[in-house]
Amino acid sequence: MKVTESFRISWRAITGHKLRSGLTTLGIIIGVGSVIVFMVLGGAFEQNIAQEIEEGNDEPGMWVHTQQADSGFGDSPFVRAKFFTDSDVAALESIDTVEFVAPSARFPVAQLTHDGHQRTGGFAVEATTPERLEGDVVEGDTFAAEDEIVLSKEATDLVEGGLSVGDEVEISFDGAGSGTFTVVGIVEPTSTGGNSLVPTAGYVSLSNYETTIETPDGNQERAYRDLIVAAESSEVLDQAQQDTLEYLRSDSDAAQLKEDEHVLKAQTVDDAIDQVGDIVDQLTVFIGGIAGISLVVGSIGIANIMIVSVTERTRDIGVMKAVGARKRDVIQLFLVESVILGAIGALLGVLVGLGFGYLGVSVIGWPMVLPTDWILIAVFIGVTVGVLSGLYPAWRGAKVDPIEALRHE
């Protein structure tokens, strides 16, 4: 029996029970649909983060920080304590492949007041040096004195009436006192503030940064939670990363100040993108498991309907056998039917998933990424589910005794 023939006959059987067939494929539609939605969202998320990380880092460099030692499960948390000293900064800067080292010294802002108008939290101020200020000063000048601040362009409308060069602002920091600053310039930042989710509202002199620590040599030095280490060029980035890690792990103050279970890391942009990918991959396994359960439920649904279908068509099977159908023809017929159900479920699931996924990413404003490989996997799974759930019913159909079937009233 030709496969095209079984498609024609099976298709009749399926369209003969449209509602029933539709409900049967629902489990597969939901299972495949949820996977595709997640893959669209996950892919968009990954791409978006990658874009952002890349855009914010046109200079080759790495993020030096401390992390809990690998527990073996997922990602270890970051350590917030400050171990990188000014000596470390100087030592790293003396490495050939390193262009400069920018200690990150961010203060979360509790409140910003200007002219009686207030703005509460949600942003940070970075203490840095004028040379490290990543961006173009579009108005005024960069800071020179301790009480001067350069605002980022987006921060100029933080308070009612807006902020401009010459204004005085009073900033109270989260748990770190407060100060009055004169706005001396507006900067259009080229960096979105590294890996922080809190936007940087302005930049002040590093002399505002007061956290110190006693170095192993017995001196008091400023200490930082993390550093940006810029490489001379992207060609030497790998070398710079190696050199940096080598220094950090052997001679650095941080190596001696940190706790035993802490690990010093130097993460490049590529590492960061890989890490986001890893997180998405882990979620993928999780979602895959859930989808797997709904596919099992879906295939039980198909198997159930196929058994009903075989029972209902016992007489038809008898007729087909009487006019020359062999066992394998009957098996083929019912397998094709359940494969059609599974494949239709998978295809509809893909469409539904793409629809909802597209809706989701356009609402959030992420780029739409077509999960081509997952669409193929979904269709493959649909066909497989169809085959597996059709096997037993088809075998039951093949086993029908035509004499009994034709006696069926």
Out of 165, 315, 356, 379, which residue is the one contacting other proteins (CB under 8 A)?
315
Out of 72, 116, 218, 324, which residue is the one contacting other proteins (CB under 8 A)?
324
* CB contact burial 174-211 (16+ within 10 A = b; e otherwise): eeeeebebebbbbbebebbbbbeeeebbbbbbbebbee
For residues 307 and 311, what is the distance between their CA atoms, to the nearest angstrom? 6
Q: Is 406 in the site for other proteins (CB under 8 A)?
A: yes
* Nearer residue to other proteins within complex by CB, 323 or 363: 323
Out of 308, 319, 352, 368, which residue is the one contacting other proteins (CB under 8 A)?
319
Q: Is 12 in the site for other proteins (CB under 8 A)?
A: yes
Of 302, 304, 232, nearest to 24 by C-alpha is: 302
- Applying the rule CB under 8 A, the residues between 70 and 99 that interact with other proteins are none
Out of 23, 90, 322, 364, which residue is the one contacting other proteins (CB under 8 A)?
322
| Binding footprint of other proteins, residue count (CB under 8 A) | 25
Q: Is 20 in the site for other proteins (CB under 8 A)?
A: no
Q: What is the 3-state secondary structure (H, E, C) of 23-54?
A: HHHHHHHHHHHHHHHHHHHHHHHHHHHHHHHH
Least distance from other proteins to the Cβ atom of residue 368, Å = 42
* CB contact burial 370-409 (16+ within 10 A = b; e otherwise): ebeebbebbbebbbbbbbbbbbebbebbbebebeebeeee
Q: 137: which DSSP letter? A: E
Least distance from other proteins to the Cβ atom of residue 310, Å = 15
Q: Is 153 in the site for other proteins (CB under 8 A)?
A: no
Classify residue 237 as exposed, middle or buried by CB count within 10 Å of its CB (0-12, 13-18, 19+): buried
Out of 47, 329, 356, 379, which residue is the one contacting other proteins (CB under 8 A)?
329
Supply the Cα-derived Rg of the chain in whole angstroms: 32
Least distance from other proteins to the Cβ atom of residue 408, Å = 9
For residues 324 and 338, what is the distance between their CA atoms, to the nearest angstrom? 23
* Nearer residue to other proteins within complex by CB, 1 or 53: 1
Stretch that binds other proteins, among 12-20, 167-175, 187-195, 335-343 (CB under 8 A): 12-20
Q: Is 323 in the site for other proteins (CB under 8 A)?
A: yes
Q: Is 320 in the site for other proteins (CB under 8 A)?
A: yes
Binding positions for other proteins, rule: CB under 8 A: 1-2, 5, 9, 12-13, 16, 315-316, 318-329, 402-403, 406-407
